Amino acid sequence: MAALATPLARPRPALGSILVVGVILLQVGLDMVSGRDTARTVARLLFTSMEMPVLMLALSGVFSWSVRRRMSASRGLAASVAIATVIGVVFGLLYGEAALRIPGLRLHASNNVNLSANVSLARSALFGVINAQMYFGLWALGFVYPFAVESAGVRALEAQQLRSEAELSHLRAHLEPHFLLNTLNAIAGLVTEDPREARRLLVCLGDLLRDAVQETSELQRLDKQMAWLRRYAQILEARHHGALCFRWDVAPDVHQAMLPRLLLQPLVENAVKHGALRRGDGAGEVVVRASRRDDGVLVCVIEDNGPGIPDADVRAGAFGLQAVRRRLELEAHHASLRLESSSEGTRSIVEIAAA
Give the DSSP per-residue string, 106-120. Answer: -S-TT--TTS-HHHH
- Checking if the pLDDT of 303 tops 90, the result is yes
Which distant-in-sequence residues (6+ apart) come within 8 Å of 161 by Cβ?
A: 1
What does the pLDDT read at residue 248?
Answer: 97
Do both 141 and 16 map to the same domain?
yes
pLDDT over 90 at 70, yes or no:
no
Residue 169 has pLDDT above 60, yes or no: no
Mean pLDDT of the chain: 76
Q: Is 172 inside any structural domain?
A: no
Residue 187 lies in a domain: no
Quick one: what percent of the chain has pLDDT higher than 70? 68
Q: Is residue 52 part of a domain?
A: yes
Q: Rounded to the nearest 10 degrees, how much is the dihedral formed by the CA atoms of 336, 341, 347, 348?
A: 30
Residue 130 belongs to domain spanning? 12-159
Where is pLDDT greater, at 192 or 320? 192
Shared-domain flag, residues 72 and 206: no
State the Cα torsion 163-165-166-167 to the nearest 10°.
Answer: 80
Specify whether 197 is located in the same domain as 243: yes
- In this prediction, residue 111 carries a pLDDT of 46
Q: How many Å apart are CA 173 and CA 319, to the nearest integer?
A: 12
Average pLDDT score over residue span 207-223: 71
Mean pLDDT of 167-183: 59
Same domain assignment for residues 126 and 199: no
16-25, 140-149, 308-317, 336-345: least confident range: 308-317
Same domain, 198 and 99: no
In Å, how far are 117, 216, 225, 228, 235 from 261, measured between CA atoms?
Answer: 81, 9, 7, 10, 20
Q: Considering the domain boundaries, does residue 28 fall inside one?
A: yes
263 lies in the same domain as 334? yes
Of 106, 136, 159, the position where a domain reaches its end is 159
The answer to whether position 141 is within a domain reads yes
Amino acid at 203: V
Tell whether 146 is covered by a domain: yes
Give the domain CATH number at 271: 3.30.565.10
- Cα–chain center distance at 147: 18
Q: Are residues 316 and 227 in the same domain?
A: yes
Give 140's DSSP letter.
I
**Of 296, 299, 295, 230, nearest to 268 (Cα)?**
230
Say how many domains are in the chain: 2
Q: Range with the lowest mean pLDDT among 55-69, 198-212, 252-266, 336-350?
A: 198-212
Single pTM value for the model = 0.52
Task: Look at residue 65 and tell me whether its pLDDT is greater than 50.
Answer: yes
Q: Is the pLDDT of residue 8 over 50?
A: no
Residues 200 and 344 in one domain: yes
Is 274 inside any structural domain? yes
User: Which of 105-109, 163-167, 301-305 is modeled with the greatest confidence?
Assistant: 301-305
pLDDT tier, 312 (very low <50, low <70, confident <90, very high otherwise):
very low
Nearest CA to 277 out of 257, 306, 254 is that of 306
Domain edge (last residue) among 159, 175, 206? 159
Give the per-residue SS3 of 148-175. HHHHHHHHHHHHHHHHHHHHHHHHHHHH
Strands (E), 251-296: 258-260, 284-292
- Each residue of 99-158: pLDDT tens digit? 777 766 665 544 454 556 777 778 778 888 887 887 787 777 767 766 666 666 666 666
- Mark whether 141 and 202 lie in a shared domain: no
The strand ranges marked E within the chain are 219-221, 244-250, 258-260, 284-292, 298-304, 335-342, 345-352
Question: 315 falls in which pLDDT band (50, 70, 90)?
Answer: very low
Do the Cβ atoms of 235 and 205 come closer than 8 Å? Answer: yes
Does a structural domain hold residue 181?
no
Statement to judge: residues 131 and 255 lie in one domain: no
Residues 126 and 219 in one domain: no
Domain boundary (108, 139, 159) is at 159
Distance, in Å, from the CA atom of 347 to the CA atom of 283, rounded to the nearest integer, reads 17
What's the CA gap between 145 and 167, in Å, rounded?
33
Give yes or no: residues 94 and 226 share one domain.
Answer: no
pLDDT band, very low/low/confident/very high, at 280 (cuts 50, 70, 90): confident
